[in-house]
Structure 1
C-alpha cells in the first residue's frame, strides 16, 4: 500500500499545480459539479498508476483539480464499486490518495433509493449515520498505523459540526433537505421489497451501493466527512414500480441545480 501510494501521489503531483483542501466524491449522475471547477486540470483514472477505472454509466472516470468557491479542490468524477469486482481496498484507494495529497475534508455524494415513505424522488438527504451492510470491510487485513488506528471510532462517521453547517447553508439558501441514515448493500441487483421492509425496520432511510467503504477509510485516515444522498427513486415496493438505472440518471439530472447550489454554498463556508 505504501509503495503504491507513493507512486500514485508522485504522478498526480507532477500532473497538477493544485494543492487540494477539499475532496469531492461524485456519485451516479452527479458528476456535473466537476464541470463548474475553475482553472481545472483533468487526469483520467486510466493514466494514474495503481488507480482503478470506473465502468458504470454516469461515471466519467477522472480526477478534476482546480478552484471552486475559493477553495482548492479535487473531484472524483465517478467512483468505484465493490460490485464491479474490485476489492474493498481498491474501492477506497482514492481516499488514501486524497489524504496523502493533504485533503482534510471530503464531501461524499451518491444516488440512493428512498426507504423512508416521507421521501420523494429528487429530495436531497444529509447523511447523519450509516449502516454498512456489504459483508466486507475495507480495513480487514494488516493495519498500517501510519495510515490510521487498528480500531477507528465510527460514533461520528459524518462530522457533526459539518452537518450543522450544511443544515445552516440549506436553510439560508432555501434548499429543502431531508436528514437520515444511509444503508449500503453490495448490488448490483436492486433490493427486493422484503429487503426494503427489513431495512426500514432497522432504521435505514435510504439505500445505495457505495459510500460507506469510503467513509470508513476516511474516518480511519482522520478526514472529516460530509455525506449527501440524492434520492433518485423510491426503493422496491414503496411505490410498486420497477426500478432501472435510467430513472436514477434522469432524476439526478432534475435535481442537479439544487444539488450544485447546496455544494457550492457549503464549500464557500468551509
Structure 2
C-alpha cells in the first residue's frame, strides 16, 4: 500500500462524510479551526506521509468538522520548503484531500506588504501569483493540465469580494510572490519584486496552489498583511511582529473566511 493511500485511509476512517473544503491556515491563523463544530483532531504525526510543522503559530494538527453548514477540514499549520521538507511533502496534503473527493481549497497566509497602499492588518484576496522559488512540484496524481493559467478561481474570489462589500468589510486584491525563505528579503529584492508586479510577498502558498489547480481543485487565496516588506518602512522585520498583527486582525480575517465558505453552493 503506498503512502498516499495510507494517508487517505487514515483520514477517511475518522470522517463522518467527505470534506467539501480544505483550509490551509498560515502563521497565527489556525484559530479558524477552533470554530468548527462536531470536530475531530488528528495530529500530523498520526497521518502517513505528513511532515511536521516547526514554525511558531503552526499547531501541527488536522481538524475536521462542521463550519458554516459545510463539512470541512483544516490544516492548523503548513509545511514549508525552508524547514527542510521536499516539495513532495509540502503539497502532499493537497493530493490526499483530492483523493478524498474534496473540491475546494481555501489557502491563507501571512504576507509582507510590497504595495505601498497596503497596511499591516489588511486582508488581501490573491488575484494571481509569481513563483519566485524557482521550484515546481512534481504532481503524483494524474491531473488536469492547467499550465500557464491563473491558479486562483476567479468566480469564487469575486463572490467573496461582493459579499464582503455588502457587509462593509474592506478587502483588497493583489499579486502574491512566493519565495523560498526562511530569511526575509533584502530591500533590493523587494524593489525588483515591485517591478515584477508583486503586491505582497511570502514563503508559502504557490506550490500548494499550483498543485491544487493541476488536480482539479477550485482555489481561493487570502493573505493577511502582517508587516511591510524590507525597505518599504525603516523598521526591522521580526516573526514576533507577524504573530502580533495576525492576532489583531483575527476578527476581520475570521469574517472573511466565513464569507468565502458561505458563498459556496
TM range (shorter): over 0.9
The aligned counterpart of 2:115 is: 116
Q: 2 CA distance for matches of 1:136 and 1:266?
A: 29
The aligned counterpart of 1:211 is: 205
In structure 1, the residue corresponding to 2:188 is in which secondary structure?
helix
Instruction: Find the partner of 2:143 among 148, 157, 167.
Output: 148
Q: 2 CA distance for matches of 1:88 and 1:31?
A: 22
Instruction: Find the partner of 1:167 among 158, 161, 164.
Output: 161
The aligned counterpart of 2:31 is: 32
The aligned counterpart of 2:21 is: 22
How far off its partner does 1:262 sit? 1.0
In structure 2, the residue corresponding to 1:94 is in which secondary structure?
helix
In structure 2, the residue corresponding to 1:169 is in which secondary structure?
helix
The aligned counterpart of 2:92 is: 93
CA contact (8 A) 1:12 1:48 kept: yes
* Misfit runs of 4+, over 3 Å: none
* 1:81-113 superposed Cα distances (whole Å, 9 cap, x missing partner): 000001111100000011111110111000000
Q: 2 CA distance for matches of 1:94 and 1:154?
A: 23
Unpaired runs of at least 5, structure 2: none
Q: 1 CA distance for matches of 2:248 and 2:163?
A: 21
Given the superposition, is the C-alpha separation of residues 160 and 177 from structure 1 closer, same or farther in structure 2, using an over 3 Å criterion? same
Q: 2 CA distance for matches of 1:71 and 1:11?
A: 21
* 1:140-175 superposed Cα distances (whole Å, 9 cap, x missing partner): xxx65x5214x5334231011111111112101111
Q: 2 CA distance for matches of 1:190 and 1:112?
A: 11
> For residues 1-270 of structure 1, what are the structure 2 equivalents within 5 Å?
3-139=2-138, 144=140, 147-149=142-144, 151-270=145-264
How far off its partner does 1:37 sit? 0.5
Q: 2 CA distance for matches of 1:51 and 1:18?
A: 21
Q: 1 CA distance for matches of 2:90 and 2:146?
A: 19
In structure 2, the residue corresponding to 1:188 is in which secondary structure?
coil
Unpaired runs of at least 5, structure 1: none
RMSD, matched Cα? 1.2
CA contact (8 A) 1:182 1:204 kept: yes
Aligned pairs, number? 264
